[in-house]
Amino acid sequence: MENIDWKSLPFGYLKTDYNIRCYYRDGKWGELEISSSEYIDMHIAATCLHYGQEAFEGMKAFRGADNKIRVFRCPDNAKRMETSAEGVVMAKVPHDLFHEAVIKTIKMNLRFVPPYGTGASLYIRPLLVGTGAQVGVNPASEYLFMVFVTPVGPYFKEGFNPVEMLVCRDHDRAAPLGTGHIKVGGNYAASLISIVHGHNKGFSSIIYLDAREKKYIDECGPANFFGIKDNTYITPSSTSILPSITNKSLMVLAEDMGMKVERRPVEVTELDSFEEAGACGTAAVISPIKKVVDWQVNKVYEFCKDGKPGPVSVKLYNKLTGIQLGTEPDKWGWTEIVE
Ligand SMILES: *Cc1c(COP(=O)(O)O)cnc(C)c1O
């Protein structure tokens, strides 16, 4: 695409050429349908509009140093969408159908895959919604699975630069036995108010605590949390955290680098003892955290005092992005070459 300024792409929506749709009717999935429209036609009583029967995924494809296009851990996203579908009682998208739709959508929009070296990538958004009409609270009998793509730059305008986060004590994102562990829009609806509140106060993102005790760190808005101390990678365990595929990958990389990995409850006050802290997810890979403000209890935690990301975060970031860009060996088979 000659007229896209790849290096200054925001993390936003840009129209591409095609998207894919697949309908579930009469108990079975139909054929993949290619569309160049950005709109869908839907019944006014569709369950996704009223009762939140909706789940999505977020993944990326990268143009590598060798000019090949790689997609990262697609089978994990297929599996997670299945778990999400079960969680809000929707028809499950078979893994091969998910995979085929993702690969096809990338291939139909090749001219939107950003060039190597620009820091940009092709964001892939699979989406599953209940389209059948219900007025009483019941699961729909019809579903629509869609995949669209859009080229994106860094999620945080700071890129791989340390960000400031606000601890949220006025709202909860998800209940301990609610839907926090699945990727559904409802969690985001619940979190928007605190995210907007944080943005207005100048913070990049929010740190959510466990809803029951407000004592432990859950996660950071659309990203998981990790801390580093004593050669150990520490990430919270909780029933209301979305299991991040980036976090899962970083745990493997940390262990491979000779670090210990701990997944356990992390009290917010433990932030005091971390040498480094970060948020991780597909959108930003790693966002190093330089400051966490817990203003209701008059507490500020600071990291990266020299203003730069910590050494372990840098190492993990370089390793993971290297695998995605084909400059580091992919010894766990995380990437698939699309073309
Ligand atoms: C998608 C998401 C993440 C990040 O998961 P990745 O698989 O690493 O992209 C983290 N938290 C929430 C709430 C999410 O929705």
DSSP state of 222: T
Q: How many angstroms is it from 181 CA to the middle of ligand 1?
A: 10
Q: How many angstroms is it from 213 CA to the middle of ligand 1?
A: 23
Neighbour-count burial of 200, counting CB atoms closer than 10 A to its CB (0-12 exposed, 13-18 middle, 19+ buried)? exposed
pLDDT per position as a tens digit, 262-301: 999 999 999 999 999 999 999 889 999 999 999 999 999 9
The pLDDT of residue 261 is 98
For ligand 1, atom 3, the nearest C-alpha belongs to 223
Of 18-27, 79-88, 94-103, 160-169, which gets the smallest average pLDDT?
A: 160-169
Identify the band that residue 305 occupies on the pLDDT scale cut at 50, 70 and 90: confident
Q: Tell whether the model's pLDDT for residue 203 goes beyond 80.
A: yes
- Residue 133 has phi, psi (to 5 degrees) of -80, 130
- Which is nearest to 228 in space by CA: 307, 308, 310? 310
Task: Tell me which residues have their CB closer than 6 angstroms to ligand 1.
Answer: 58, 183, 219, 222-224, 242, 244-247, 281-282
Q: How many angstroms is it from 26 CA to the middle of ligand 1?
A: 32
The CATH homologous superfamily to which domain 163-325 belongs is D-amino Acid Aminotransferase, subunit A, domain 2 (3.20.10.10)
State the DSSP H helix or E strand holding residue 165, giving kind and residue range, or none if neither. Answer: strand 163-168
Q: How many angstroms is it from 291 CA to the middle of ligand 1?
A: 21
Q: 202: which residues sit within 8 A by CB, 6+ positions away?
A: 164
Active site residue 215: no
Q: What is the 3-state secondary structure (H, E, C) of 28-55?
A: EECCCEEECCCCCCCCCCEHHHHCCCEE
Q: Tell whether the model's pLDDT for residue 248 goes beyond 90.
A: yes
DSSP state of 4: -
| Domain spanning 6-152: CATH 3.40.640.10 | no
Closest atom of ligand 1 to CA, residue 282: 9
Select from 59, 121, 195, 244 the residue to mutate for testing ligand 1; criterion: most ligand atoms less than 8 Å from CB.
Answer: 244
Closest atom of ligand 1 to CA, residue 187: 13
Q: How many angstroms is it from 226 CA to the middle of ligand 1?
A: 13
Q: Tell whether the model's pLDDT for residue 225 goes beyond 70.
A: yes
Selecting among 60, 92, 183, 290, the annotated active-site residue is 183
Identify the band that residue 2 occupies on the pLDDT scale cut at 50, 70 and 90: low
Q: Which two tokens stand for residue 63?
A: 């143009």
Domain boundaries, the chain: 6-152, 163-325
Report the chain's mean pLDDT, rounded to a whole number: 96
